Amino acid sequence: MLLVDAANVVGARPDGWWRDRAGATVRLLARLAGAELTAPDGSRFTQVFAVVEGRARDVPAPDGIRVVRAEGSGDDALAASAEELAETRTPLLVVTADRGLRARRPAGAVVAGPGWLLGQLDAAEGSGAT
């Protein structure tokens, strides 16, 4: 399973996201929905979750992406989601650059930074995948 800190990933590239946070989140979710992503171990993700917060909390969820809408702190929602997903004993990769969130991840969960995910998305789009 893949759990994405959407705000953290959106904020990783200075592409003007701050002018339209919700729009930037919609674009990220669409990219996630359209890509077949490969985990660092070579396996394919069967489920993708994205935590959204603040102005992006009400964005539509594209097919194939389970959106977790943080009512309060996005960090708390991501940490709680990671704990819940870890209970399924399915391998979990959490995407965030936030050191505090990395420290709060459940035992066994692997962490990757936004650069890893954006690289995967760029590669998928560059190869003609949608």
Which residues, including other chains, have CB under 8 Å from residue 110's CB and lie 6 or more apart? 40, 91, 92, 93, 94
**Is this structure's pTM higher than 0.85?**
yes
pLDDT of residue 38: 87
pLDDT of residue 126: 82
pLDDT tens for 27-64 read 999 999 989 888 888 888 989 999 999 999 999 999 99
Interatomic CA distance for residues 23 and 107, integer angstroms: 34
- Structure token pair of residue 4: 């994405």
Could you please state the CATH topology (level 3) that the domain comprising 2-126 is classified under.
Answer: Rossmann fold (3.40.50)
pLDDT tens for 62-118 read 999 999 999 999 999 999 999 999 999 889 999 999 888 888 989 889 999 999 999
Say what percent of the chain tops pLDDT 90.
75
Domains in the chain: boundaries: 2-126
pLDDT of residue 61: 96
Instruction: State how far the alpha carbon of 115 is from the alpha carbons of 11, 34, 64, 76, 93, in Å.
Output: 11, 18, 22, 22, 14
